[in-house]
Structure 1
Amino acid sequence: MRREYLEYVKEYADRLEPYMKELEDSGQWRRLERSPVSNYSFGKDGVVFVYRVIQNGSSSMASKII
């Protein structure tokens, strides 16, 4: 996603990453990566999040890229 969205989109600003952390803390998924990407889209920087979903107490085989 474009990095700027994390700052000015009201649904994301100060809400998305804390919610992702809440899901991680509750054992629903585990963050594998948070990577900044230069020139991600239309000359704007971005951030790529990669999570592994936890199912029935164990990691699923597939990771979700968000």
Structure 2
Amino acid sequence: MQSKKVIHRFIALLLSFFATLALAHPGHGGNGASHDLEHLIWMLGGLVICVVAAVFYARDREKDGRF
């Protein structure tokens, strides 16, 4: 049951990333999809940082025997 919840959250995360492309709007730094791709790149960068931090945290807990 827990794995279904994780899959649903992952799908929701992917949809939120692709929603920026579907809702293209003029704005600072570019127009339309190119501007939204800039936002997408920043969000993906933030996601990578969070995943790397979570992996290091999990490894640390595993070393201490608390995992």
* TM interval, short-chain normalised: 0.3 to 0.5
TM-score (structure 1 length as normaliser) = 0.33
Higher gyration radius (CA): 2
More strand by proportion, 1 or 2?
1
TM-score (structure 2 length as normaliser) = 0.32
Bigger relative contact order (CA 8 A; separation at least 6): 1
